[in-house]
Structure 1
């Protein structure tokens, strides 16, 4: 295959590199081109790693400084809209897929790994990136939010209104993070909440920040929850941005836990990133460097987990809103970077940039979705209506 126009022939000195360059050309990405989304090579071996290891090799080559791109978000939007990730299937992916199929990578022992590896990076770091509410999930921009803070407040209020919160209700938050939802719900709707997390840093932060509110934060795996441990069944359950860590072998267990903790007339709101294809496997770069043991669900997998336990009252997709959320996080991260550069180093900066911008491109390309499921045990009499 000859090199497409706009490529530097000197770096495409092998047939495999020419093939990768041609593949990128199908997505309108040029090697050593001059457009913001073009790939600028510093080490041609980056193409070899991309061919041999897929996104794991591409991402690690970027972390090592082997290539650059002015607009990584647009690079990934082009790449994923052309479905190039489906074209490169390295041999290692088959072993990864087999592990996902055969082993429970999100069992009780391993469930704590993501807390230590990701969420315990430091509360100062996340405060600089996430904003005043420390909400680490998709904001809701469709109501006309002017900035990230407004989009996050709109998302938290949307959850409260969908759940129909009333003063005095008892609410369980499975995967409570830094307490953004619980704080908002207690302050604005007068509810009492119990939240669980596997991050020591999150629990410590939330306990201190919301010390004056009727909120309890527990360092606990969700599988340990039952109605007795909660002081009786709760009126409502929210789980915002946690289900991505549950894993396909545990989806049913999660729903069983929610079912046994909820009053018969209660509601559950599940807010989760989702994938378009049931049989796809977790991205190896994300798994190794960002969210160990993560596993995005598909609609079908969630539907299987609900079977016979819950009625789906509403399914709301606003995945396109994750693009501006991630771009806002990236802008905040870059602005705050001088404060953390000495402790974290340039490799971390490139890793974090790759994480945020590749995900923004994936949501922009509609390769990933963001769903809010509203669930009841036996169906809301007369039907449930989504609030305006």
Structure 2
């Protein structure tokens, strides 16, 4: 008679469609799979099977992992198996033959997956009130992600507290160096110079605003929907002696009334806007930008064509990481900007840069694991480890995820862009003397 581990592994291999290079150990001590497998999974409790039976998609598996019902020695080898991503990560289990699904479900039942659906982990967000992407709902879901403790974020982001991909000029660069170089790249693309006024939409903990004010002599207004980000950003600005140059606000971009600005940076924020509001977002930013001013939009973009949201199974990202977040194709962003009257001048992919950044964040989080659990709880620490690991693999693979810096301008009345004719002249300019 097959052991619990053998039967469970066989059921998953039938669902995935290939022999999995995974070693499985079950609650009864039984093991199955290649002894030297890089991916090792421990099913601590039968409750993990109930989670997967009631949610036979990535949500069931992630609930099992986040709750501790299931452990993985190293997430990278497991999530790096292409068939796992294709079948579970892209929600293709629904396309399997009913007989295959029924056989897998019967195996889980025989192994003890009997009973009502277990309560989801406490860190899961399920009920969201209000209209999607309304001001009130956006404020709540943004708080869910960002207001989990500044000290927790510092553990893996490092001293710069920048929560977007770095710019890795050298292969052996440190994370903090890559993040400073990214802030500088943004400032150079925007053509910042002393006396200018910069709007930083989604300013996070204030790192870009501080870099722009300190090294380029500009005045900055930074807006965020996270109270914890606002409070720490203001503290950092004051400690740097930049309070006379930088104002940090708890404010929605739709409520900014004190334009125009000479330049606008939106880094890692437009993923929260949504497809429906993308035209409004583009129009609002254009209205806040003076003629001849530049806008830099730094955002994750979806490459592989996926089914629209209504036809997709519930996802880990939507329930745990970015509720209501939407990663759109680059073409949607460019189209919205052009329809709003902005002229797109440049788009640069930083896909490999984000993969390197995420690997560094994973390393930092694992290196501070006990502190992470103490500060945020084990469930949240597991959530972020899963999220960062899966994201790193997503950016390392072609044709799945990428991240683009789109540079646009608001043309003047006579059609001038104010942009130098060659990229070298605006991209490789020198810092302003301050």
After TM superposition, the score normalised by the length of structure 1 is 0.85
Distance 2:391 2:17 in 1: 24
Question: Which of 49, 62, 68 matches 1:65?
Answer: 68
CA distance in 1, matches of 2:418, 2:18: 51
**SS of 2:80 mapped into structure 1:** helix
| CA deviation after TM superposition for structure 1 residue 287, in Å | 1.1
Maintained 8 Å contact 2:66/2:383: yes
After superposition, the Cα gap between the structure-2 partners of 1:179 and 1:49, relative to the gap in structure 1 and judged at 3 Å, is same
Separation in 1 of the partners of 2:174 and 2:146? 24
Number of equivalences: 364
Equivalent in the alignment of 1:9:
6
What residue number does 2:191 align with?
Answer: 164
Please name the residue that 1:94 is paired with: none
Q: 1:325 to 1:80 in 2, by over 3 A?
A: farther
Which of 166, 169, 174 aligns to 2:201? It is: 174
Q: How does 1:120-135 map to 2 (within 5 A)?
A: 120-135=147-162
- Matching residue of 2:116: none
Quote the residue 2:111 is aligned against: none
Equivalences for 1:137-156 in 2 at 5 Å? 137-144=164-171, 146-156=173-183
In structure 1, what is the Cα distance between the partners aligned to 2:342 and 2:84? Answer: 34
Is the contact between residue 274 and residue 297 of structure 1 (CA under 8 Å) also seen in structure 2?
yes
Segment drifting more, 340-349 vs 314-323:
340-349
Query: 1:286 and 2:283 equivalent?
Result: no
The verdict on how the C-alpha distance between 1:241 and 1:381 changes in structure 2, with shifts beyond 3 A counting, is: closer
Correspondent of 1:385 among 423, 427, 430: 423
Candidates 1, 13, 22, aligned match of 2:17: 22
CA contact (8 A) 1:104 1:249 kept: no
Residues 176-222 of structure 1 deviation map (CA, whole Å, 9 limit, x = unaligned): 00001000111111110001100001111111111221000110111
Query: Which has the larger displacement, 78-87 or 315-324?
Result: 78-87
Asked whether the 8 Å contact 2:167–2:178 carries over to 1, the reply is yes
The alignment status of 1:304 with 2:335, answered yes or no, reads: yes
Q: Deviations over 1:75-103 (max 9, x none)?
A: 32333796333362559xxxxxxxxxxx9
2:124 is matched with none
Partners of 1:381 and 1:182 lie apart in 2 by 23
User: Which of 206, 213, 218 does residue 186 from structure 1 map onto?
Assistant: 213
Name the CA shift for 1:10/1:341 in 2 (closer, same or farther; >3 Å): same
- CA separation in 1, counterparts of 2:420 and 2:143? 45
Residues 53/249 of structure 1: CA separation in 2 closer, same or farther (3 Å cut): farther
- 1:252-331 pair list within 5 angstroms: 252-277=279-304, 279-281=306-308, 284-308=315-339, 309-331=341-363
Equivalent-residue separation in structure 1 for 2:82 and 2:50 (angstroms): 17
Matched, 1:88 2:120: no
Please give the secondary structure, in 2, of the residue aligned with 1:210: helix
Superposition CA RMSD, Å:
2.8
CA positional deviation for 1:281: 4.8
Provide the rounded CA distance (Å) in 2 between the counterparts of 1:58 and 1:301: 32
